[in-house]
Structure 1
Amino acid sequence: MSAPPLLTIDRDLTDPDVVALLASHLADMRAVSPPESVHALDLDALRADDITFLVARDADHDGAAGALLGVGALKVLDDPDEPGGHGEVKSMRTTHAAVRRGVATAVLLRLLEVAREQGLGRVSLETGAEPFFEPARRFYARHGFTPCPPFVGYAADPNSVFLSRAV
């Protein structure tokens, strides 16, 4: 595996490579899921105050940020039933160049750290039930996520799988 990625919090979301990766992410979600089952957020939604957006980049020899490797977001949910607070993982995506390099794990682990820093007790996510999403479901299971019922803002949907874990 290469050097760990540089992970930074970004509120701007105007870097062309980030915009392109998120557009590709949305296009893929819309291509494999029915419209009512696509829950990916667009750029404007990802800029909300209740969302922490994380960018992973290669580090060059001087330690400066280089090529985009992946992104992920953590949304704080208003969930009165969850002591300690509840967060949702959103927009996890790596570039093709980052596949099998540990980037997704680095992003997810950093998002879980952010959740702990924000005092959240639980983090959940929604992903697709279609075969396209099988690698994502296996990834999250490896990191301790287990099936759960739909959470804040979601309803039961045969095209969705809901997963959760303590922080």
Structure 2
Amino acid sequence: MEIRRDDLTGQKVKELVAEHLGGMAQHSPPESIHALNLDELQKPEITFWCAWEEDDLLGCGALKELNDDHGEIKSMRTTSEHLRKGVATQMLKHIIDEANRRGYKRLSLETGAVEAFTPARNLYKHFGFQFCKPFADYKEDPNSVFMTKSLQL
């Protein structure tokens, strides 16, 4: 598996982002969806990566810089064909490593509160993320769970 930065212009990547947004809409009301669309993922404060195996897209993930000390994980998604193969684990490791390289002291995320998001929450807990209050511009929401992790340099 190779994880590399992506410009979000390839058709496979566009389809994966659309799948991600569709999955969010399936499990969360519109006001509780915080997933980013293609345009939002191309903002300068966001770095977007895809995991590939030759020409086969496996998944994606992004890191948003909130400030010099704090990053946010965005758009973690594994393609339907590659679930439970370790793609999300490798992407999360990559994002944590990059956050450490950048010198962030904290890495946070928002994910869904319903059962469909249990595998994601379990993955984040496995990597030491703990539940927290809303951060950045987020507000309390019964459909959202907020998690954070202190980073060691």
Shared topology, TM-score over 0.5? Answer: yes
Q: Figure out how many residues of one structure are paired with residues of the other and give that number.
A: 151
TM-score if structure 2 supplies the norm length? 0.95
1:73 pairs with one of 62, 81, 89: 62
Q: Which runs of 4+ in 1 moved over 4 A?
A: none
Instruction: State yes or no: 1:55 paired with 2:62.
Output: no
Measure how far apart 1:97 and its partner are: 2.3
Q: Which has the larger radius of gyration?
A: 1
- Give the Cα–Cα distance (whole angstroms) in 1 for the partners of residues 81 and 115 of structure 2: 22
- Give the Cα–Cα distance (whole angstroms) in 2 for the partners of residues 39 and 109 of structure 1: 22
- Give the Cα–Cα distance (whole angstroms) in 2 for the partners of residues 147 and 86 of structure 1: 16
Measure how far apart 1:73 and its partner are: 0.2
- Give the Cα–Cα distance (whole angstroms) in 2 for the partners of residues 96 and 39 of structure 1: 21
Q: Give percent identity, aligned residues only.
A: 49
Following superposition of structure 1 onto structure 2, how do residues 37-116 of structure 1 map, counting pairs within 5 Å? 37-58=32-53, 65-78=54-67, 85-116=69-100
Instruction: State yes or no: 1:23 paired with 2:39.
Output: no
Q: Which runs of 5+ in 1 are unaligned?
A: 59-64, 79-83
Following superposition of structure 1 onto structure 2, how do residues 120-139 of structure 1 map, counting pairs within 5 Å? 120-139=104-123
Q: Which amino acid aligns with 2:98?
A: V
Q: Which amino acid aligns with 2:10?
A: D
TM-score if structure 1 supplies the norm length? 0.87
Q: Which amino acid aligns with 1:97?
A: E
2:143 pairs with one of 144, 159, 163: 159
- Give the Cα–Cα distance (whole angstroms) in 1 for the partners of residues 144 and 42 of structure 2: 24
- Give the Cα–Cα distance (whole angstroms) in 1 for the partners of residues 55 and 103 of structure 2: 31
- Counterpart secondary structure, 1:108: helix
Q: Which amino acid aligns with 1:165?
A: K
- Give the Cα–Cα distance (whole angstroms) in 1 for the partners of residues 24 and 86 of structure 2: 22
Measure how far apart 1:98 and its partner are: 1.7
- 1:29-63 C-alpha deviation (Å, 9 max, x unpaired): 112111110000000010111111011001xxxxx
Q: Which amino acid aligns with 1:135?
A: P
- The aligned counterpart of 1:6 is 2
